């Protein structure tokens, strides 16, 4: 579902150089040289980032960016994704791209019930049939798309800086988040964690680093959630 397309080269080094610059009398080239000293320099960068995250001074983390592509995502979930405003998005347009193939997402709660599934598929197939009829009879795609359900699959490319990704993981990695957007968060985390572990270690829903923020709506499984995220997503 999620593919990491591109990201800032040496994100941890980039963040560390920016952070050190704020408190150093040395020039940028000298600071860069210090952190680019192989494994020794990388370890320095990671220790600095750990202090930054502990102190909460996370603005420098914004210097690292990650661009991802998501496929087989419903329009219902993509509408949740684009609510994260500190990001850039490019999504396949239903105005210019005709949805001639009935590709759509089926929730597990429906897929696991034969009666529900038959009625669900029939309803969507009827919608696509009418959609195709309208297109064939000259109705513009931008008008015919009004029929299309939230279940229709879409494709979207988005870019977030590392600080916004931390926020995204906090909100959408929670068990209380809608299942489809939660899967996007979990897959994104698995992709970016190995690239910048000092940035993303300890990220995830509130219960990973403290108490659950959901109050009476808690999933009741903070230990399991915490273990999955602290293992770099290996437990998802």
CB 235 within 8 A of CB 86: no
Entry field: residues in the chain = 236
Q: Contact, 172 vs 200, CB < 8 A? A: no
- Which tokens sit at 123? 């309803």
Q: Return the HEC string of 48-109.
A: HHHHHHHHCCCHHHHHCEEEEEEEEEEHHHHHHHCCCCCCEEEECCCCCCCCCCCCECCCHH
**Nearest residue to 209 via CA among 236, 169, 178, 177:** 169
Question: Is 172 an active-site residue?
Answer: yes
Among residues 172, 182, 183, 226, the one annotated as catalytic is: 172
Nearest Cα to Cα of residue 165 among 1, 10, 11, 13: 11
In the block, which residue shows the tokens 């370890």? 43
Residue 2 CA to residue 16 CA, distance in Å, equals 28
As annotated, the active-site residues are 172
């Amino acid at each position: 579902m999620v593919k990491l397309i591109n990201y800032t080269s040496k994100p941890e080094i980039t963040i560390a150089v920016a952070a050190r610059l704020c408190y150093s009398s040395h020039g940028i080239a000298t600071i860069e040289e210090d952190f680019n000293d192989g494994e020794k320099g990388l370890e320095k960068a990671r220790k600095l980032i750990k202090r930054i995250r502990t102190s909460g001074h996370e603005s420098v983390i914004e210097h690292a960016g990650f661009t991802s592509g998501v496929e087989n995502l419903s329009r219902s979930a993509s509408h949740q994704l684009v609510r994260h405003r500190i990001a850039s998005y490019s999504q396949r347009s239903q105005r210019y791209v005709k949805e001639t193939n009935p590709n759509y997402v089926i929730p597990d709660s429906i897929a696991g019930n034969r009666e529900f599934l038959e009625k669900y598929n029939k309803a969507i197939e009827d919608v696509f049939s009418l959609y195709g009829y309208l297109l064939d009879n000259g109705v513009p795609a931008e008008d015919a798309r009004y029929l299309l359900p939230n279940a229709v699959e879409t494709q979207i490319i988005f870019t977030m800086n590392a600080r916004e990704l931390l926020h995204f993981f906090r909100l959408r990695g929670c068990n209380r988040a809608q299942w489809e957007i939660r899967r996007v968060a979990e897959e994104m985390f698995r992709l970016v964690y190995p690239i910048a572990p000092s940035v993303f270690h300890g990220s995830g829903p509130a219960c990973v680093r403290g108490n659950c923020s959901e109050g009476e709506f808690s999933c009741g499984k903070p230990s399991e959630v915490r273990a999955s995220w602290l293992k770099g997503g290996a437990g998802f």
